[in-house]
């Protein structure tokens, strides 16, 4: 290429390679970034449809399906439960990843335990406002890290990011983390949720690039 001094190799790096080089230069372990993703400091907003508005006391959460006794709890009850504050990397299937996001909430498994999951239960569907749903195995929503979150970076979650309450399941693509969560339904088989019916992978492991059907 004109202008390159003799002996200097001109490497044309694409956006993703450059982003990965920058991440290494910043001292991050590149193994944290799944294949095909780029790191961003921004917090993109991604959802279908409107952002719901709740008056005081209007939001509640139901645990239903294959449970011994379905429960419905409000925000104050949720906040009175034992909570955890955890820092995660999140990975959206549209290829952005964000490192070190900090969430406070209640472990999903503690909520499920209150309702008493029946032995036949193998999967959970997260039901969000306006009919958004997403499905995952019971084992994936009962890890130490799977939470029903009500705070982000120590503040109430902004409505656009799912406030007052959203799921965060950090080891799967972020579409598996429903914003404006309203119900957790225990099922005895895997049933496709909103995006899973529309081409997205049933499981969605970012490190195996399970973006679409057949990946
Ligand atoms: N209720 C609801 N939850 C949702 C979605 C949605 O459309 N509706 N989109 C999912 C997708 S694809 C992503 S990447 C994340 C985006 O969360 P954010 O807007 O806080 O970044 O929310 C997930 N949860
Ligand atoms: Mo996403």
Round to whole Å and give the CA distance between 157 and 145: 18
Residue 215 located in a structural domain: no
Report residue 158 as tokens: 């902004």
pLDDT tens digit sequence for 92-113: 999 999 999 999 999 999 999 9
Whether the predicted model's global pTM rises above the 0.85 cut? yes
Q: What are phi and psi of 114, to 5 degrees?
A: -60, -35
Report residue 101 as tokens: 């996001």
Residue pair 65/185 in contact (Cβ under 8 Å)? The answer is yes
Quote the number of domains for the chain: 1
Residue 34 located in a structural domain: no
Residue 182 located in a structural domain: yes
Shortest-distance Cα residue to atom 12 of ligand 1: 175
Residue 190 located in a structural domain: yes
Residue pair 135/123 in contact (Cβ under 8 Å)? The answer is yes
∠ Cα 42 134 141 (to 5°): 85
Specify the 3-state DSSP secondary structure of 139.
helix
Q: What is the mean pLDDT of residues 73-90?
A: 98
State the distance between the two ends of the chain, measured CA to CA, in whole angstroms.
38
Residue pair 70/63 in contact (Cβ under 8 Å)? The answer is yes
pLDDT tens digit sequence for 158-194: 999 999 999 999 999 999 999 999 999 999 999 999 9
pLDDT tens digit sequence for 22-39: 999 999 999 999 999 999
DSSP state of 56: T
Q: How far is the CA of 178 from the centre of ligand 1 (A)?
A: 6
Residue 41 located in a structural domain: no
Residue 47 located in a structural domain: no
Residue pair 72/12 in contact (Cβ under 8 Å)? The answer is no
Residue 21 located in a structural domain: no
Residue 74 located in a structural domain: yes
* Cβ of residue 180 lying under 6 Å from some atom of ligand 1: yes
What is the domain range of residue 76? 58-84+102-208
Residue pair 72/130 in contact (Cβ under 8 Å)? The answer is no
Shortest-distance Cα residue to atom 16 of ligand 1: 46
- What is the CATH number for 180? 3.90.420.10
* Cβ of residue 90 lying under 6 Å from some atom of ligand 1: no
Q: Which residues pair with 137 in a beta bridge?
A: 123
């Amino acid at each position: 290429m004109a202008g390159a001094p003799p002996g200097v190799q001109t490497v044309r790096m694409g956006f993703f390679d450059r982003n990965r080089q920058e991440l290494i230069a910043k001292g991050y372990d590149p193994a944290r970034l799944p294949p095909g993703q780029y790191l961003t400091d921004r917090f993109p907003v991604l959802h279908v449809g409107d952002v719901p508005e709740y008056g005081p006391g209007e939001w509640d959460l139901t645990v239903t399906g294959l449970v011994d006794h379905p429960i419905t709890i409000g925000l104050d009850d949720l906040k009175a439960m034992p909570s955890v504050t955890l820092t995660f990397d999140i990975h959206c299937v549209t290829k952005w990843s964000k490192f070190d996001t900090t969430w406070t909430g209640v472990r999903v498994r503690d909520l499920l335990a209150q309702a008493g999951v029946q032995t036949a239960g193998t999967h959970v569907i997260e039901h969000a406002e306006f009919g958004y749903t997403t499905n995952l195995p019971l084992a994936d929503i009962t890890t130490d890290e799977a939470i029903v979150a009500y705070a982000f970076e120590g503040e109430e979650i902004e409505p656009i990011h799912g406030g007052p309450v959203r799921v965060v399941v950090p080891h799967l693509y972020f579409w598996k983390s429903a914003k404006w969560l309203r119900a957790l339904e225990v099922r005895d088989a895997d049933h496709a949720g909103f995006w899973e019916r529309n081409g997205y992978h049933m499981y969605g492991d970012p490190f195996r690039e399970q973006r679409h059907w057949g990946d």
